[in-house]
Amino acid sequence: MDISPQDAEQSLAAIATANQESQTRRGYRKAAPYIIGWGVTWAIGYAGTSALSPSQSNKLWLALILIMICFSGVIMRWQSGHKLGWGRLVLFTVAPSAALILLVNLIVNIFDIHSATTIAALFILIVAAAYAVTGLRYGRRYTQLGVALALLTALGLWLVPPPLKIIVLLVDAACLLLVGLWFRSA
């Protein structure tokens, strides 16, 4: 049976497309535990922020971030079959977290922001932008997550009365949890 050059080219293109889609879905499944973990972290952190004093809230967030960094390192090492070295784990877990915290603190200090809700919204919007940009390379679901977080935060903070703004932050945490489950099903 002879195959024409056009049929062969179409078959190879279909195989390449299927391979790319398979890699993207595998990437979503690998990202799911991190997104779910951060959703849980945000839910606990924002609930604690509304119930605790600022000093206690800061300590809670520090503990949660450290726990999440360790959790991320363990998951990364497990997903790599224990082939990923500790130096790379630090590079992929501690460095991005430290950079994000530094960026938020820099913006907060430059613009003299004092509202905990505004700081939380700023943090979420930076994370949303990072997800949206990540989607350009790793798949549209990341972009959809980034847009959803940005819209939920912006609309919620604009429409919800001040005493209820914590609900917006908890909705963002729920968004991460749901999207993490969506990624798992990819």
The model's pLDDT over 27-42, given as tens digits with 9 standing for 90+, comes to 999 999 999 999 999 9
Supply the pLDDT for residue 146. Answer: 95
Supply the pLDDT for residue 55. Answer: 87
pLDDT band at 125, cuts 50/70/90? very high
Is the confidence at residue 141, as pLDDT, over 80? yes
Report the share of the chain in percent with pLDDT over 90.
43
pLDDT in tens, 87-116: 888 888 888 888 988 998 899 899 898 888
Burial class (CB in 10 A: 0-12, 13-18, 19+), 184: middle
How confident is the model over 159-181, as a mean pLDDT?
88
How confident is the model over 14-35, as a mean pLDDT?
89
Is the confidence at residue 3, as pLDDT, over 90? no
Supply the pLDDT for residue 180. Answer: 94
Query: Across the chain, which distance is largest between two alpha carbons, in Å?
Result: 76
Domain that holds residue 82: 5-184
Query: Letter for the amino acid at 175?
Result: C
Residue 63 tokens, joined: 């503990």
pTM over 0.85: no
pLDDT band at 58, cuts 50/70/90? confident
How confident is the model over 114-141, as a mean pLDDT?
90
Distance of CA 179 to the CA centre of its chain: 10
Supply the pLDDT for residue 1. Answer: 65
Is the confidence at residue 131, as pLDDT, over 90? yes
Q: 39, 61, 36: which is closest to 48 by C-alpha? A: 61
CA pair distance 51, 1, nearest whole angstrom:
73
Supply the pLDDT for residue 179. Answer: 94
> How many domains does the chain contain in total?
1
